[in-house]
Structure 1
Amino acid sequence: MPLLKYEQIADDLRTRISNGEFGPGQLLPSGRDLAEQWTVSRATVVKAYDVLRNDGLVVARQGAGFVVAETPIACPAGGRRSDTARVSGGAPFRRLGTPDRAVPPEHVGEVLALKTGEMALRRVRLVLLDDGAPGTLVTAWFPLDIADAAPRLSMAGPIAEGTTHYVRRQTGRSPCEGVDIKTVRLATAEEAHQLGVEQPAAVAVVLHVAYDQERRPLVCEEGVTASHVFEETDSYPMG
């Protein structure tokens, strides 16, 4: 399905930001300039900027317009419904180590449909709480066909436009279905160290798998949260 005009504008700005044309804190083109460039109304440009703002990529600056966000955000894991903005549940994070290729745990290999001993690209981040303390340790595993087609996944720095948009731009594959499996177990030694808790410690685990249009797995994320900070609230109509 072809992108609507405001989506085209948003994607073009994502690409320009990702390519370094606009850095963190820099002012983006005005609504008037973009409207003239794309021959659209100012309202269409506003919709494009709303998309980027909901993705956490840009922020509004009083009296100036929009600037590139200076602090990248990330979500813990799971809950990626199509009507959910990227900023929902998003928080500052710290990238741990350098992305590498490794054989994932057996349960991850199974959901990614990997053969025994087959490697995947691993990216690890620590999502922080409001006070800067460790919140959720997230390990993302990408099949190597995705990693090879999207080389920035192998780089240590954050991907400004977000991995979902970047992977779609590089591969043409988009997430169409997400599956979240929630369990509870004891933390491993490494998880306890990164989360700043003493063993034995209970952790809540969310295993998130995103599938494309042909139900091929795009990524598997395992989010581990210490029990003392894990909380989930769900509001819904009744009756």
Structure 2
Amino acid sequence: MSLSHLSLYNCNIVGSIPTSVGNLTQLAYLSMSSNKFNGHIPSLLSNLANLRFLDLSYNNIIGEFPDIFVNLTQLSFLSLTSNQLTGPIPSCVNVLQNLAYISFSTNNLSGTIPSWLFTLPLLQTIYLDHNRLHGSIPGSIFELVNLTDLGLSSNNLSGIVELHLFSKLKNLEFLDLSYNSLSVNTTFKANSSFAQLQWLLLSGCNLIEFPGILRTVNRLQQLDLSDNKINGQIPNWMWDIGKDTLFLSKSFPQ
């Protein structure tokens, strides 16, 4: 029987990723997360055309993205979180039409967020936080009707963001825009609703008032408005926000 599932999670493995992994052409699941792998992602991983789950997070992988993803068209889960990857998000990722989960957070990625990233039809989760990405947030993001989690914090993103537009994402549960160079406009729109939103993180977003949009949020568990320019009195309606759902925690979904 050909191997289809391989997990080497948290095995304290040191060294480069063996190129021989590329010979396991029937693999559908590959996790090598939380080790001490270093060096580049081997190009022979492109042989794994049946792969649906790839997790190389929490290692010391370096270099720019290789072109291996051109052949990995079955991928639905891709995590490269907490490595030392550099350069832009490669255009080869746009062939991954089955992607539901993508995390490139905590690397050294640069360049802009490519607009095609937000046209992948099945995407539910995107984490690009803690990189060096710049430019504005592409308007194509509002076409991702299945999106539940969006983490863009701690980059160099800029421009004006209309918070009410995120209400188009009817399934959105987690939104983190913190610590960029964004100016988030929180003007309340009567037809805006965030029925599913549970985590809203807007630290350092140049807010000047309490977001009126919060009045449409009924399931909020985490709210962070720290490091902003809010002044004046706290509006009375703020005390009703999340009164039955908010809790204190230092961990967020990743």
TM-score by length of 2: 0.24
Structure (1 or 2) with the greater strand fraction: 1
TM-score (norm 1): 0.25
Bigger helix share: 1
